[in-house]
Amino acid sequence: MKILEVILTHIVIGVIIFFAVICRSEAREHARILDEPVGTAYDAGSTWIDAQHEGTAGKMIGVDETGWIHVVWTNELVQSLTVRHVFYNLWIPSTGSFLFNVEGGIQVDATVRAANATQTTLPSGNCFPAFNFQGIPVSEIYTGAAIDFLPQAGAFMTSSLIPLFETEILYPKIAASGDSTLHIVSTENDAVNPGQPRRIFYSRGTPEYDEFGFGEDINWQNVAGAEQFLTIDTSMTVSADIAASRISQRVAIVWAKSRDDLTGNPTDINNDIYLRISENGGITWNPRINITEFLVRDPGCPNETLQCNVDTLRACGDASIIFDETDFIHIAFTTRTFFEYGHPGLDSGALTKAGLSGIWHWSEETDSLSPVASAYYPMTAENGAVLLDPGEQQMNVQRPSLAVDETTGYLYCSYQLFDSSQYSVAMYPMADAFVSVSTDGGINWSVGTNITDSAPAVIPAPVGGSMHERDITLADRVSYHNAAGYLHMEYVLDEDAGTAAHEEGVVTNNFVYYHRIPIIDIAASPLVPQAPIHADCELPPAPYELAASENDCDRISLFWMDESNLETMFVISRTPDDTTFFLSAANGIISYIDSTAVPGTEYSYYVAAGNACGLGPSSHVFGIRLSVPEQVTGLTAEGDCGQITLTWQPLAGNVASYLIYRDLIPQPIATIDAAVAQYADSGVADSYGHIYRVQAENICGLSEDSEVTIGSLLPLFSFEQLLPDTVYCLQYLNVLTRYCP
């Protein structure tokens, strides 16, 4: 039995803050030793709940700059699954053991109930667990994070985001920028609107410390008006993950988006992988990017062959994202087989094959997709007589988790791979934890090394006898100790394969492990063979001799040359406002008129040809739509004997001429070339003041009038010096006088 001792609970207006809870446990039996593990596994704690996450697992483990390891997990304390909290433990390199070893970890939250734990760890050793929870005394469901009292202390206070009360927001994933800003992505609860796309939300906060450096709270910021949740997009899965750069203000979110979420019949199996990037710490977000763009058949295909389906892979509901040491983004995700228009000999309509899957990597630097692992085969038992299903929301290979070695630049990807030779009495297969390495930035990946290599004593394994590693995550960085590099992995060792919450197997008390892996033991060869993620077809070449009109007032006209017959469309992308135009390639069209361009704004245009395989390379050109000139400024007038000279500030470009106006005469008195910024008016014959204004002109029209100025001719004569204050009768004076002849 677990004994919980609550230290303190405090509620303030607007933010609910829960202080840490100390957890003590009675003595328990030691965890079983894995068969032939690579590296060393350490017992961090236990839990009666096997599934830590639905879909993407995020990061449950982190390493700080001193090599201390921070792990979090959802701990179901009783077999009835009614007492659920977030737990934390801290592994100390100097002792090779956990700080809370006897206790089996400590409770982070002081709430009624908490789950879906992830975390981010700062180099300083400050760990920030993120989770959703049921508050005290309010029964509302909250999402938030906890701040440690001191680095490596394990005494937490929970800080809640102000919820959107019209919905429930769950499944937070958390990351930290180099300046310690916290970034969270979370997903709407499916129970709010079952069977419909769930909103994905972004939130941001900064840790607050008192004058002595003790963690006090997290200052959650408004990111959408007065709200602390900004809608990023929608998904039919719990797939969103988030990463933040340590060397810049870049933040990135990845998720699996349903390709048919707007059809009225959305599914969670027909997905692409999408990415959104913020370059300024989450203040603004660039448009979403589809990095998979799975292809569908031509509507004219007879629907009788496999070729009609074109691409037969789709993204699943899990992904992992990190920034490498040079600030490039890397994404790993799982794909499944998907036959959108049926399979010959089988039922028509969208079809998937149970469990068949693979893992892929995408690099921002190369914009390329490479295979990491594959298990596109059915799992069978008893000489093929029984088809094994890994379970609901489970795939043969799944749950990628990325890490980077900032010293070498090598990338690592862990994943869960099921083994059909090991299964439970309920006929659910078991899985091991694998790690693959890429030494070239993700272009090629090694065949995975089995890290745990565990096996049950008896097959089929009885309840309590399974050796099933699940919810595997890596710390996002490799650390070094005595010149040796280590990966840091966390997972749950499920003692009855299957997910108990889905009535697959039964509830068991499972151990949570930290696994310390020497990177030298991860085999760099052989390599996984390269394979295309898309159907085998040819992309069209880039259009050439792309040009933009230079003197259009109501449009920007684009022209290009194209001699290929592979394209079916052209796609024109415009920045800086991220607008896209689609153009059929029928009838040999090689031009486009953009009448939506804002006058006076310079745009970058990218034109690419596309077909069923996707878009080919693009060509680039700058274009600007002319506008009427700006208002003339700085107008002055200076009179002389026979003329009044006007001067003004010349306008830069986009001007053909200047029009000069005097007094109330409606027509200009002169039109002069744009290269000249002055005019001498000799058409006046009096010394009165005259009002002048100037307009600039081009082919688009006239500018606004300038501010007026007043000028006058000099009088016929004038004294050039002052007369004395007193002048006597018949006094002779010699006064300098100016005279206009």
- Percent of the chain predicted with pLDDT > 70: 86
Instruction: Give pLDDT, residue 565.
Output: 79
Q: Select from 429, 436, 435, 474 the least CA-distant residue to 455.
A: 429
Domain count, the chain: 4
Q: 407: alpha, beta or left, given left = phi > 0 and alpha = psi -120 to 50?
A: alpha
The arithmetic mean of pLDDT across residues 568-595, rounded, is 77
Rounded Cα distance between 495 and 507, Å, is 9
For residue 455, how many other CB atoms are within 10 A of its CB?
A: 17
Q: Of 69 and 7, which is predicted with more confidence?
A: 69
pLDDT exceeds cutoff 60 at 26: no
Strand 484-494 with 479-481, pairing: antiparallel
630 occurs within a structural domain: no
Rounded Cα distance between 291 and 296, Å, is 15
Q: Of 333 and 568, which is predicted with more confidence?
A: 333
Rounded Cα distance between 482 and 489, Å, is 20
| 220 and 364 share one domain | no
One-letter identity of residue 629: P
33 occurs within a structural domain: no
Beta strands in 339-467 (DSSP E): 357-363, 368-375, 379-381, 386-388, 397-404, 411-423, 429-438, 449-450
Name the token pair of 371: 């295979």
737 occurs within a structural domain: no
Reported as a single tens digit per residue, the pLDDT across 359-384 is 999 999 999 999 999 988 777 776 55
| 337 and 318 share one domain | yes
Contacts of 26 (CB under 8 A, 6+ apart): 1, 2, 3
The arithmetic mean of pLDDT across residues 584-602, rounded, is 80
Residue 694 C-alpha from the chain's centroid: 51
| 560 and 442 share one domain | no
| 507 and 563 share one domain | no
Reported as a single tens digit per residue, the pLDDT across 384-401 is 556 788 988 899 999 999
Name the token pair of 594: 């953009």
| 284 and 358 share one domain | no
pLDDT exceeds cutoff 50 at 17: no
Instruction: Give pLDDT, residue 36.
Output: 66
Contacts of 600 (CB under 8 A, 6+ apart): 624, 625, 626, 627, 654
The arithmetic mean of pLDDT across residues 587-596, rounded, is 82
The arithmetic mean of pLDDT across residues 175-180, rounded, is 98
- Percent of the chain predicted with pLDDT > 90: 60
Instruction: Give pLDDT, residue 425.
Output: 94
DSSP 629: P
Instruction: Give pLDDT, residue 185.
Output: 98
The arithmetic mean of pLDDT across residues 449-453, rounded, is 96
| 304 and 231 share one domain | no
* Apex 159 CA angle, 136 and 16, nearest 5: 40
Asked which of 624, 646, 664 is the last residue of a domain, the reply is 624
* Apex 117 CA angle, 370 and 68, nearest 5: 80
| 314 and 434 share one domain | yes
pLDDT exceeds cutoff 50 at 6: no
Please give the span between the terminal C-alpha atoms of the chain, in angstroms, as a whole number: 116
The arithmetic mean of pLDDT across residues 272-300, rounded, is 90
Helix (H, G, I), strand (E, B) or coil at 343: coil
Instruction: Give pLDDT, residue 721.
Output: 64
Instruction: Give pLDDT, residue 9.
Output: 31
pLDDT exceeds cutoff 70 at 102: yes
- Mean pLDDT check: name the lowest of 12-16, 501-505, 705-709: 12-16
| 449 and 566 share one domain | no
Helix (H, G, I), strand (E, B) or coil at 188: strand
For residue 272, how many other CB atoms are within 10 A of its CB?
A: 17
CA atoms within 13 A on the CB side of 567: 28
Q: Select from 84, 60, 64 the least CA-distant residue to 73.
A: 60
pLDDT interval class at 72 (50, 70, 90): very high
Element housing 186 (H / E): strand 182-188
Residue 483 C-alpha from the chain's centroid: 34
Q: pTM above the 0.75 mark?
A: no
pLDDT exceeds cutoff 90 at 201: yes
Residue bearing tokens 């810049």: 248
- Mean pLDDT check: name the lowest of 122-131, 234-243, 671-680: 671-680
| 322 and 228 share one domain | no
The arithmetic mean of pLDDT across residues 179-203, rounded, is 92
Rounded Cα distance between 116 and 143, Å, is 10
The arithmetic mean of pLDDT across residues 241-266, rounded, is 90
44 occurs within a structural domain: no
| 436 and 566 share one domain | no
308 occurs within a structural domain: yes
What is the domain-level CATH number for residue 23?
A: 2.115.10
Rounded Cα distance between 155 and 440, Å, is 41
pLDDT exceeds cutoff 50 at 47: yes
Do 325 and 305 contact (CB within 8 A), yes or no?
no
The arithmetic mean of pLDDT across residues 241-250, rounded, is 98
Do 597 and 579 contact (CB within 8 A), yes or no?
no
379 occurs within a structural domain: yes
pLDDT exceeds cutoff 90 at 115: yes
| 400 and 480 share one domain | yes
559 occurs within a structural domain: yes
506 occurs within a structural domain: yes
pLDDT exceeds cutoff 50 at 573: yes
DSSP assignments along 557-602, one per residue = EEEEE---S--SEEEEEEETTTEEEEEE-GGG--EEEE--PPTT-E
Instruction: Give pLDDT, residue 597.
Output: 87
Q: pLDDT averaged over the chain?
A: 87
- What is the 3 state secondary structure string of 508-545? CCEEEEEEEEEHHHCCCCCECCCCCCCCCCCCCCCCEE
What is the domain-level CATH number for residue 569?
A: 2.60.40.10
| 517 and 391 share one domain | yes
Contacts of 100 (CB under 8 A, 6+ apart): 88, 89, 90, 106, 154
For residue 76, how many other CB atoms are within 10 A of its CB?
A: 22
Phi, psi (deg, nearest 5) at residue 35: -60, -70
Instruction: Give pLDDT, residue 304.
Output: 53
Rounded Cα distance between 471 and 73, Å, is 10
Q: Quote the domain boundaries for residue 599.
A: 544-624
pLDDT interval class at 356 (50, 70, 90): confident
pLDDT exceeds cutoff 90 at 584: no
DSSP assignments along 669-707, one per residue = SEEEETT--EEEE----S-S-EEEEEEEEETTEEPPPPP
